[in-house]
Structure 1
Amino acid sequence: MGHLSEKSTDLLPRVRRIAGQVGAIERALVADASCGDVLHLVAAVRGAVNGLLDEIIADHLEQHVALPGLSDAERAAGAEELMAVIRRYAK
């Protein structure tokens, strides 16, 4: 998905924030933080990852399924890739 490199200025800071949030979970566990605090941190990471996933899925749909000029085979391949991700995510 080379077109994502055009959006990397938007996506990379999000990924770095998520990495920082995961680091906060590790630090909380090492510091023996309360279950509530750790759960709050994990929920925040989950929300951030879901937001990132939503953005990449939307971009995939725009570029590989809905983009004018794509062949039927290209659209089918784009839809198939997306279905594989959705199935994996839904497990």
Structure 2
Amino acid sequence: MPHSAEDKQRAITRLRRIKGQAEALERAVLGGSECGPVLQQLAAMRGAVHGLMADLLDGHVREILAEKPAPSQESVDETLALLRSYLK
């Protein structure tokens, strides 16, 4: 989870952009748009979500690795589970 005010604001901005993309996609589907533009918008949303997740994972992994004296096995297992879900 982002901890600094700047990181939180960046995450919120990205989430709002994704929300806007989802709303635009909903309008496109309701309006009967062609498949090509809908698929393109889906790909853009997927990229936005993956980018946000990568940023959050980056922060999380850095936080876990900085634990002193060493990360707990539970923290390592949780982080690996998150990475596995991200890579699916």
- TM-score band by shorter chain is 0.7 to 0.9
TM-score (norm 2): 0.85
> RMSD of aligned C-alpha atoms?
1.6
Following the alignment from structure 2 to structure 1, what is the Cα–Cα distance between the partners of residues 80 and 16?
27
Q: Where in structure 2 are the equivalents of 1:51-66 lying within 5 Å?
A: 51-65=51-65
C-alpha distance in 2 between matches for 1:63 and 1:38: 38
Q: Which residue of 2 aligns with 1:37?
A: 37
Number of residue-to-residue matches in the alignment: 86
Q: Give deviations 1:21-63, integer Å, cap 9, x for gaps.
A: 1111101000000000100000000000000011001101111
- C-alpha contact 2:53 2:86 (8 A) present in aligned 1: no
Q: 1:7-86 residue pairs with structure 2 within 5 A?
A: 7-65=7-65, 67=66, 70-72=68-70, 74-86=71-83
Higher-RCO chain (CA-CA 8 Å, sequence separation at least 6): 2
Point out 4+ residue stretches in structure 1 off by more than 4 angstroms.
none
Residues 18 and 45 of structure 1 are in contact (CA less than 8 Å); yes or no, is this contact kept in structure 2?
yes
Contact 1:25–1:42 (CA<8 Å) still a contact in 2? yes
What percent identity do the matched residue pairs reach? Answer: 34
TM-score (norm 1): 0.82
The residue type paired with residue 51 of structure 2 is G
Secondary structure of 1:70's match?
Answer: coil
Distance 2:40 2:3 in 1: 32
